Chains A and B, each alone.
Chain A
């Protein structure tokens, strides 16, 4: 069913990238993503300010050449905090998404290829987790672990895994009876080998595209939890906590809220454009899912 995605092969990867770049929205998305990633990676080169250094003298300064985005209520440089907050946001997003993918793929393969009773049990489990509202889940976990990045990652994983596992399960189920799988069985290949070499490569591509579209959601979850004080702990900078800092003083010093909100919007837009372009190019059928 993913004839189009299967074009994503090593020798064709460069061409694939070119196709994404040829779409205006895709090129714009890539540019935004590169901008945010670059800012996070090269944060130390781009600014000499320490994101956590409190300097009461410089409180509530408007943007200037020294402080490109101004300072907050503790006199911390916002530009530096935004760049470092990007590190948190992006690394949490990547780490949590990668973890969800790994767990989701493994569980999906087991549910799809394993015995029918196991499939039924796992589906029930996925649906139960999915039926929890995200906010409730977050609150419950924070009570357990205290506000921390770990809590954020666990929330994201719990939210993502059931959906990913279901997609993989459905496709595994479809491939289970296909001739190339039977052929591998007839040669004496074990279950692990069949899953690893014959099924996984064929089911993973559409999920990778979907997961890349989920990255903005993860960033929003991290920002949201940090905004509520359930995520990263001060003084570690996060877009959510910057937004919260600016929120209380939005009338007098709007630049703080802008400094927190703008990167969230830009990153979300960037990943969404990129993901949508990839999806439209490689698997228009996935459109229905979102």
Chain B
């Protein structure tokens, strides 16, 4: 497996507030990871965790203020739009809103052919490529004549996938690929992404807040909180035994469709802190049920084992329960 993406200490800064009292906040605060071809990596976090910002930074839509991004050994964070363009052919991004990410006045056929036009690819004939791509994502050629508003959410998502794979990319970044889709259609889209990944051997980054989705598609996952990774590792292992308290809380907060299932919740007190007022020490300490004195002053380093990285002073043992047991129901 060759390394396709190398992210090192990436930071993204935003300027907020009125002109005079402008302050900068860290949307992404030092993230590092590697991605190999054929691998699916999931980035999980709640709203405001910086996961979409990170995706946009990798794709070059968002400038970074520190760190480096290497795509197939090219340093891409310093490239201008012109030198970035040939590399864009090899990575594509899918956006959250299945219908909203398709230009409303363009027919599906033109939408799918657009990547070819943008990159001036003339040796591929759209009248051949469009039906081929449509059938790859399980749509009939007739769909080429439809407008986005005439598609269901699932169909629009498939068109988005067709467009993403049009130029045979090496990397696909999918931001909430199942957002806005019905349960019965979610599976179709995830299966499609899994199939394509196997068939085309591409690497994939999936950004989502939906943990159930992650479990079924990702090889490795990272949990993000306030712009930082707090836990990174093998998906199966993390689901079996989360080591960071936040991961454990997220996993326990996942409602399951079984009325008799015992619910053993780890309740998180308080709300996510503002990026303008990051807590000192471990940034999760304000909500952590296991908080200790040390957490409030000392920033935890990544504790690294062979397959897992956890940013916590006292990583959880399997099956750990919060000190004062807050079991609901």
Greatest chain A CB density within 10 A among B61, B97, B118 is at: B118
Complex CA distance for A182 and B53, rounded to whole angstroms: 13
Cross-chain contact of A183 among B84, B101, B119, B149 (Cβ < 8 A): B101
Asked if residues A197 and B101 are in contact (CB atoms below 8 Å), the reply is no
Is A290 part of the contact surface with B, judged by Cβ < 8 Å?
no
Cross-chain contact of A179 among B81, B92, B95, B163 (Cβ < 8 A): B95
User: Of A20-28, A53-61, A186-194, A274-282, which binds chain B?
Assistant: A186-194
Closest chain B CB from A91 CB (angstroms): 30
Cross-chain contact of A188 among B84, B101, B147 (Cβ < 8 A): B84
Is A100 part of the contact surface with B, judged by Cβ < 8 Å?
no
Complex CA distance for A193 and B105, rounded to whole angstroms: 14
Asked if residues A201 and B61 are in contact (CB atoms below 8 Å), the reply is no
Asked if residues A188 and B93 are in contact (CB atoms below 8 Å), the reply is no
Chain B, 72-111, contact with A by CB distance < 8 Å: what is the 0/1 string? 0000000001001100110011011100111111100000
Complex CA distance for A166 and B101, rounded to whole angstroms: 26
Q: Which residues of A contact B101 (CB under 8 A)?
A: 179-180, 182-183
Q: Which residues of A contact B6 (CB under 8 A)?
A: none
Asked if residues B59 and A201 are in contact (CB atoms below 8 Å), the reply is no
Asked if residues A188 and B88 are in contact (CB atoms below 8 Å), the reply is yes
Q: Considering only CB atoms, which chain A residue lies closest to B148 in the complex?
A: A180
Greatest chain B CB density within 10 A among A178, A183, A193, A198 is at: A183
Closest chain B CB from A195 CB (angstroms): 12
Q: Which residues of B contact A6 (CB under 8 A)?
A: 104-105, 149
Q: Which residues of B contact A267 (CB under 8 A)?
A: none
Q: Which residues of A contact B149 (CB under 8 A)?
A: 6
Q: Which residues of A contact B219 (CB under 8 A)?
A: none
Asked if residues B103 and A187 are in contact (CB atoms below 8 Å), the reply is no
B-contacting residues, A169-212, CB 8 Å: 178-180, 182-190, 193, 197-198, 201-202
Q: Considering only CB atoms, which chain A residue lies closest to B85 in the complex?
A: A188
Cross-chain contact of A180 among B85, B103, B119 (Cβ < 8 A): B103
Tally chain B residues at the interface, Cβ within 8 Å.
27
Is A9 part of the contact surface with B, judged by Cβ < 8 Å?
yes
- Size category of the A interface is 10 to 19
Closest chain B CB from A13 CB (angstroms): 14
Q: Which residues of A contact B60 (CB under 8 A)?
A: 186
Is B234 part of the contact surface with A, judged by Cβ < 8 Å?
no
Asked if residues B147 and A9 are in contact (CB atoms below 8 Å), the reply is yes
The dominant DSSP class at the A interface is helix
Closest chain A CB from B131 CB (angstroms): 20
Complex CA distance for A6 and B104, rounded to whole angstroms: 8
Closest chain A CB from B52 CB (angstroms): 11
Asked if residues A201 and B88 are in contact (CB atoms below 8 Å), the reply is no
Is B300 part of the contact surface with A, judged by Cβ < 8 Å?
no
Q: Which residues of A contact B61 (CB under 8 A)?
A: 182, 185-186
Closest chain B CB from A188 CB (angstroms): 4
Q: Given A179-B95, A179-B97, A183-B93, A201 and B119 touching (CB < 8 A)? A: no
Closest chain A CB from B176 CB (angstroms): 11
Asked if residues B147 and A187 are in contact (CB atoms below 8 Å), the reply is no
Q: Which residues of B contact A198 (CB under 8 A)?
A: 103, 106
Complex CA distance for A212 and B16, rounded to whole angstroms: 43
Asked if residues A180 and B104 are in contact (CB atoms below 8 Å), the reply is yes
B-contacting residues, A33-58, CB 8 Å: none
Asked if residues B104 and A189 are in contact (CB atoms below 8 Å), the reply is no
Closest chain A CB from B245 CB (angstroms): 34
Cross-chain contact of B59 among A9, A178, A180, A186 (Cβ < 8 A): A186
Closest chain B CB from A114 CB (angstroms): 15
Complex CA distance for A198 and B105, rounded to whole angstroms: 8
Is B168 part of the contact surface with A, judged by Cβ < 8 Å?
no
Asked if residues A178 and B85 are in contact (CB atoms below 8 Å), the reply is no
Q: Which residues of A contact B163 (CB under 8 A)?
A: 187
Asked if residues A186 and B100 are in contact (CB atoms below 8 Å), the reply is no
Q: Which residues of A contact B119 (CB under 8 A)?
A: 188
**A-B pairs with beta carbons under 8 Å apart, 13 shown:** A6-B104, A6-B105, A179-B95, A179-B101, A180-B101, A183-B95, A186-B92, A186-B93, A187-B88, A187-B92, A188-B119, A201-B106, A202-B104
Additional A-B contact list (6), CB under 8 Å, known A197-B103, A201-B105 = A179-B100, A179-B101, A180-B104, A184-B103, A186-B61, A188-B118
Interface residues, chain A, CB within 8 Å of chain B? 6, 9, 178-180, 182-190, 193, 197-198, 201-202
